[in-house]
Amino acid sequence: MPTRDRRLGAGGVTAFALHRTDVDGAAVVRPAGRLDLTTYRELRDGLLKCAVDEPTAVIVRLDDGFECATPVFLSVFATVWLRVAEWPGVPLMLVGESSGHRRALASSSRSGGGVGAVPRFTGLRAALAAVERPPERTRDEMQLPDELISGLLAREFVREVCERRSVTHFVHNAVTVATELVENAVRHARSAPVLRLELRGHRLTIAVRDESPEPPREPKPEPLRPRGWGLTIVSALSRTWGCYPWPRGGKVVWAVLDD
C-alpha cells in the first residue's frame, strides 16, 4: 500500500499532535496526546482540514498514544462526521486499536452522546476495505481579484458553468449565493478569493476560499443594495452551509444547493 507521512502540527504545552499518513488515497490520522477541553478544537479542526483535501476517507487510528480525559470528548468524532457528510462528502471512520479504546467507543455509541453512528473498526485493513469509491463529481474553479469587481466576475462565472454543465435550474440561487460569499471574502477577509463550483449528483456546492482564518461575519443589510444580506440569504437559499479551516492557511466557506 503506497503511503505518505506528514505531521499536521503540535499543541504546545499539551504535547497534542496529529500524524497523517496517506494510504491508497485515504487520510489515516493518528492523534497523539490527551484529548481534553484544551485540545478538542485542535483535533476537530485538524480532521476537518484532512477532509477538505478530499481523500477517499479520513480514518482515525486510536492507539496507546491517544488518551481521552472523559468519554464526553469522544463526541468530537461525531461532530466532524456530521459536518463533512454534506461537503466535501468524505467519510470518517474510527479504528480502535486497543481493547480499551474499543470498549470506550462501544460504550460511547450505546449512550447516544458520543461517537454516534460513526463507523468503527478493529483494524486499519478492515477500515480501508470498507472505503467505497467516491461519487463522480465535476469541478470548476476561478481565481478572483481582491476587488469588489469580483462579485460581477463571480456571477458571470456561475452562469457560464451552469450553462455548460446543463444545470441552469441552479442559476438564480447559485449566482446569489456565490456573490454573497465572494463579496464577503473581499470586504471582510480582504483576500483575493478562489471560487469553486462542484457538481455531485443532484447537488451543487459553492465554495469560496480566502486567506483569513476568521469565521465569516454577518454584514449589516444595505437597503440601497440589491444584495448585501450576507449569510442570512446564503442560509435561506442553501440546503446547508459551513466554514472549514483550509489546510494551508485561511478558510473555505461553502454552501450546498439541491433540486
pLDDT in tens, the chain (259 residues): 444 444 454 433 347 999 999 999 999 999 999 999 999 999 999 999 999 989 999 999 999 999 999 888 999 999 999 999 889 999 999 999 988 998 888 887 776 556 878 999 999 999 999 998 887 889 999 999 999 899 999 999 999 999 999 999 999 999 999 999 999 999 888 889 999 999 988 899 999 999 998 888 665 555 555 555 578 899 999 999 999 999 888 999 999 998 7
Which cell is 154 given? 463571480
H-run or E-run covering 161:
helix 149-164
Q: Considering only CA atoms, which of 188, 252, 257, 176 is closest in space to residue 220? A: 188
Which cell is 178 given? 456565490
Cβ proximity of 107 and 71 under 8 Å = yes
Task: Kindly tell me the burial class for residue 140, based on how many C-beta atoms sit within 10 Å of its own C-beta (0-12, 13-18, 19 or more).
Answer: middle
Q: Considering only CA atoms, which of 153, 203, 208 is closest in space to residue 177? A: 208
194 three-class SS:
strand
| Cα distance between residue 117 and residue 81, in whole Å | 9
59 three-class SS:
strand
pTM of the predicted protein model:
0.81
Cβ proximity of 139 and 112 under 8 Å = no
DSSP string, 179-192: HHHHHHIIIII-S-
